[in-house]
Amino acid sequence: MKNLLTVLTVFALLSLVACEGPAGPAGKDGATGKDGAKGQDAGFVYFDGFKEGLKCASCHNPDTDTVFFKSAATFQWNASKHANGGTAFESGSSCAECHTTEGFVQKMSGKTVTEQANSSPVGCFACHSPHKNGDFTLRNSSAVTLFSNLTGVADYSFDYGKGNLCAQCHRPRTQAVKLDPSKSTSTDAVNDSIRITSGRWYSHYGVQSQMLMGKGGYEWSNAPEAVSNSFHTTSTSIKADGCTICHMTKAQGNYSGGHSMRLETEEEGMNLNGCKTSGCHATITTLDYKGAMTTTHKNLDTLKVLLAQAGWLDTLTMQAKASSTKPLVIKPSQKAGALWNFFLVEHDLSAGVHNTAYANALLRNSIAKMRGQF
């Protein structure tokens, strides 16, 4: 009996299927749903879109993408300080614009820079926007305004070609407590003083643009040595290509030059290809050209000792001995220029290579000031 019922049930179902008529016309489309979250609303940077007519396969195919475009640059970048400097952890809203790719893209896109919960080091898409531009030209190469951080001294414009993109971050931040060069000859220690309330009393760590231009240091009008600039500041080649002419010179193996941006490594020694650019240093054999680095290190060490002896410099943290609860008061204020100049040259990290004449004139005058020689 069960078998008979099963057969009848199957037969009935088949009959219904067989009798089903053709499908009717499709109904009207339903209402459009809400757009998904984009850009900053979704917690990430909404990138720049795509250039009209862009064809993905122009780059993304095994013959070009792998061999000619991104892979080699990425390999070099992996050896760079951008990749390994640890700065991507500085991802708060006030730092992300230079310490993370995401924040930098926000800044360059004219968006409000926000805290980056998921940040990455400064990489390919910080400097380049290939989907928007259709190629690997730089994201931005406009001149950059640098803060002077000295009372009465106007901000100045950095315009060194491709190096302008570098200067978007390798530049000073604003400083609340400023020195006044108009008091550079003041000797009134009773009435004239400066009150420093932060150990981070300096323009920033990324002051390379200032140093190359020969700007940002404290100059005494009655100092024993006139302040001047080196060849790098006015070189036609450097004015045209900026930082890239040396730091992104022809790669020397895998770890220097190119997108590593390094000029010296343990594996490959010194990369002097950029230094030998036509019109520059044809016979150079060392980055310590004419003892520039040796001299700068010697002057930095001498000034460091004098500042530490004065109780102004913490040589462990390499910051000013100052805080909001224990401010550092220097009388007269113009003497604090020695501390300011020390930080500027030390934070430049080139040991004088960027601008030997400027760096060492600032240091020697600062040493003389600390010794009471003027």
pLDDT digits (tens, 9 = 90+) for 146-166: 999 999 999 999 999 999 999
Instruction: Provide the 3-class DSSP secondary structure of residue 30.
Output: coil
Mean of pLDDT over the chain: 88
Look at the block and give the residue holding tokens 């061999």.
67
What is the mean predicted confidence (pLDDT) over 180-205? 90
The secondary structure of residue 113, as a DSSP letter, is P
The answer to whether residue 139 scores a pLDDT higher than 90 is yes
Structure tokens at 62: 């095994």
Q: Which segment of 38-42, 246-250, 283-287 scores lowest on mean pLDDT?
A: 38-42
Angle of CA points 266, 270, 273, to nearest 5°: 145
CA 158 to chain centre: 14
Side chain identity, residue 195: R
Assess contact for 70 and 123: CB atoms under 8 A: no
Position 228 pLDDT exceeds 80: yes
231 confidence band (pLDDT: 50, 70, 90): very high
Task: Report which of residues 33 and 252 the model is more confident about.
Answer: 252
Neighbour-count burial for 172-185, b at 16+ CB within 10 Å, e otherwise: bbebeebbbbebbe
- pLDDT at residue 3 is higher than 90: no
